[in-house]
Every structure is written in C-alpha cells, then in structure tokens.
Amino acid sequence: MPNNQSPPPGGDIWRKFRHQPQAMLGAVIILIVILSILFGPLIYHIPIDKIDFAKATLPPSGEHPFGTNDLGQDLLARVLSGGRISIAVGVFSMLVAIFLGTLIGAMSGFYGGWVDIILMRVTDLFLALPQLPLLLLIVFLFGNAIKAIAGPELGIFVLVVLVIGGLNWMSVARLVRAGFLTVREMDFVTAAKALGAPPWRLIWFHILPNVISPVIVAATLSIGTAIISESTLSFLGLGFPPDVPTWGRMLYEAQNFLEFAPYMALFPGMAIFLTVLSINYIGDGLRDALDPKMR
C-alpha cells in the first residue's frame, strides 16, 4: 500500500476530529440521544400505551415533563421509545445502502467496460427516480402483504428499511467507483495481480481499504437521510402502525393539535432535528479527519 494512499492512523483521526467544535458537539448530542433512548425507558417507567382521557393534552409538568397527547399518553415515554425505532431504521437502512453501493461501485470500478456501463446506467436510472413518491407507492402497495407475512411491526420495519436503503445507495456507488478507477491502476495492485491474486482478493483486500474513507462519511450521512425518510412516511400515515410511537408518527398525530398543544409536535420534532443535525456534524468531521489532503 503506498504511503500517499494509506489512511491516517487512528490517533491522528481522533486528534483532527476532536479539534472540530461542530463534530464534537454532534458526537456529544448523539451520545446523549442514544443513551437516553437505550436507558431512559428503564428509568422512566410510565407505559407508552396507557390511555387516560382525563389527562389528555396536558402541558409539560413535573408529572409529565413533555406533556401528554390527545389520549393522555405520556409524551416523554413515547419519545424515548420511538427513538429506538427511528434510529434503528436509520442504522439498518444505512447498512443496506452501504452494502448495495459498495458492491455495485466496486464491480463497476474494478471491471470497467460493459459492466461499468450497465451498472452506471442503472445508477443513473435510480438517481432519476422521484424517491418520495416511489417510496410512498411501494409502502402503499406492499405494506399490507408484508404485514400479513411478518406481522404489523416487524413487517413494516423490514419493508421501510429495504425501501429506504434501496433508494439511497447511488451516491455511495459513485464514490466507490471513482476510488476504484484511481486505485486499480497503482503499482501495488499491479504487483498483486502479477503474484496471482484473484479478482475478489484484489477488490476486498487491496483496493477497497484504500477507498473506505468516503464510504464511512457517506454511511454517517445516510443515517440522517433514512431517519428523515421514515419520519416523512410516518407523518403521511404510511409508516408504522398507530400504536408504534416513532418520531414521525408522533408528528402526524400532533398536526391537529398545533394551536393549543404545540408541545405535541415540538419534542419529537426537536428529537429528529437534533439527531439528524448531530449526525451531519459527525459526518463532516469524519470527512475532514479522514481526508489525506488535510493531514
């Protein structure tokens, strides 16, 4: 591996990352969010589905720090529980997008020729598709079928993850392809070929480690994109069932109470805003920390 292509050592990455105030702020916020949604429900024991119409649309108070919704359900408990689902959708959708993008970009950049032409035209086709209408159409058409197979919660989770991930791999594929086109012509790859390394070994052990930096950055940013997409689906009423309190579903339920209970939308909206913003800050920080030109 040539020195000018080697990734910066871990200590250097952390040093550059922690000297970026926005990146560190994003890391602190996302750490607080993750710890809250993981351990908050274990400390805050109020049930998320307990209905009490006598306490409907109560403002924030000591008993209910985030207030209650129109059914008298505690909003803090629902925000904490819903965060697990929203962030899980973001992470698993990211894994789907990164896997597809890396696979297609690696094949396209390594083999070139007609393989590159076909795969890049498929990528262009997906880039040209209107993602939100297509996302809504797929969930609307196949939502009931997959719910009948895997259940209302797991079924819609799998469908949302596959659809969001399957519509967000194109930028990763282009990044990986560009890196492969550059690295495959370098001397250490030529030497590996001369020693008889098979194509799969050249791809996964010699070339891919040298183009992984932009993939890591794209992975962090795609989590935020997936969270926004899931929130949009839930806000439009096509996401998870009503008894599953994702952040987007809570916004959907709050739209009719904005005049006299704006806090019903404020807290889940702030959760989405802070999570996506912090992830974007982390992605920007990783981009600068992993960029060899800035070392």
What would the pLDDT profile of 127-151 be if each residue is shown by its tens digit?
888 888 888 888 888 888 888 888 7
Q: What is the pLDDT of residues 29-54, one digit of tens each?
A: 999 999 999 999 888 888 888 888 88
Q: Is 6 left (phi over 0), alpha (psi -120 to 50) or beta?
A: beta
- Split into its structural domains, the chain has a count of 1
Name which residue leads in pLDDT, 242 or 27.
27
In a domain, 40, yes or no: no
Q: What is the mean pLDDT of the chain?
A: 86
Domain with 141 in it: 26-33+75-294
> What is the sign of the dihedral through the CA atoms of 50, 52, 56 and 58?
negative
* pLDDT score recorded for residue 122: 93
The C-alpha atoms of residue 275 and residue 230 are separated, in whole angstroms, by: 13
In the chain, alpha helices (H):
10-18, 21-43, 75-111, 113-128, 131-150, 152-166, 170-183, 187-194, 199-201, 212-235, 247-254, 263-290
CATH number, residue 112: 1.10.3720.10
Average pLDDT over residues 233-257: 84
Cα distance between the two ends of the chain: 18
* pLDDT score recorded for residue 216: 85
pLDDT at 2 over 70: no
Q: Which residues have C-beta within 8 Å of that of residue 41, sequence separation ≥ 6?
A: 77, 80, 81
Token duo for residue 1:
């591996």
pLDDT at 266 over 90: yes
* pLDDT score recorded for residue 88: 92
Q: Which residues have C-beta within 8 Å of that of residue 198, sequence separation ≥ 6?
A: none
Question: How distant, in Å, are the alpha carbons of 57, 73, 204, 208, 268 from that of 53?
Answer: 9, 9, 58, 57, 21
In a domain, 56, yes or no: no
By C-alpha distance, which of 235, 250, 183, 236 is closest to 214? 183
The C-alpha atoms of residue 248 and residue 256 are separated, in whole angstroms, by: 14
| The model's pTM | 0.84
In a domain, 156, yes or no: yes
Name which residue leads in pLDDT, 125 or 17.
125
By C-alpha distance, which of 37, 89, 56, 38 is closest to 253? 56
In a domain, 195, yes or no: yes
CB-based contact 161:89 (threshold 8 Å)? yes
Distance of CA 64 to the CA centre of its chain: 30
* pLDDT score recorded for residue 291: 64
Q: What is the DSSP letter of 68?
A: B
The C-alpha atoms of residue 100 and residue 167 are separated, in whole angstroms, by: 10
Q: What is the pLDDT of residues 275-293, one digit of tens each?
A: 999 998 998 888 878 765 5
Q: Can you give the length of the chain in residues?
A: 295
Token duo for residue 38:
């993981």
By C-alpha distance, which of 206, 216, 217 is closest to 180? 206
Distance of CA 127 to the CA centre of its chain: 18
In a domain, 233, yes or no: yes
Q: Which residues have C-beta within 8 Å of that of residue 158, sequence separation ≥ 6?
A: 146, 150
Q: Which residues have C-beta within 8 Å of that of residue 295, sequence separation ≥ 6?
A: 8, 12, 16
Token duo for residue 154:
């797991």
In a domain, 160, yes or no: yes
* pLDDT score recorded for residue 293: 53
In a domain, 15, yes or no: no
Q: What is the pLDDT of residues 77-130, one digit of tens each?
A: 999 998 998 899 999 999 999 999 999 999 998 888 899 999 999 999 998 888
Q: Highest mean pLDDT: which of 157-161, 184-188, 210-214, 217-221?
A: 157-161
In a domain, 46, yes or no: no
Q: What is the pLDDT of residues 154-196, one digit of tens each?
A: 888 888 899 999 989 998 999 999 988 888 888 888 888 888 8
